[in-house]
Amino acid sequence: GFEKVFSQHQIPDEMAEYSLMKEGRVGIIEILLKKGLVESKSEARRLLKQGGIAHDGQKIESESWSVVEGVIKIGKRRFLKITA
C-alpha cells in the first residue's frame, strides 16, 4: 500500500467512505471533522488555505465548495471516498 500511494502516486485500495445521501447538504469542513480526518475546523481551514485538500487531483480552495462524488486527498496520507 505504501509503495502504491507514495511511489506511484495512486490512491489506496482501502479508505474511509462518506455517503452524501445520509447527511444531505454538508460542507467539506464538517465532513472531514466527522470522519476524523482533521483534528479541528481550524486545521481543515488551514489545509484549504494552503492547498492541502484536493478532489480527484484538483485543489479545493473554498469552504463553500460543493461536495460531489470522488476521492478527496487530505495532506499526503489521508484519503476519503465520497459516494452518492
12 and 75 Cβ atoms separated by less than 8 Å:
no
Note the helical H segments in 1-84.
Answer: 2, 20-23, 28-34, 41-50
Supply the pTM of this predicted model.
0.82
Q: What is the mean pLDDT of the chain?
A: 88
pLDDT at 33: 95
pLDDT band at 23 (very low <50, low <70, confident <90, very high): low
Give 43 or 1, the one with higher predicted confidence: 43
pLDDT at 4: 66
pLDDT band at 21 (very low <50, low <70, confident <90, very high): confident
Average pLDDT over residues 46-60: 94
pLDDT at 84: 83
Please enumerate in sequence order all residues whose Cβ is within 8 A of that of 60, keeping only pairs 6 or more positions apart, or say none: 28, 48, 53, 54, 72
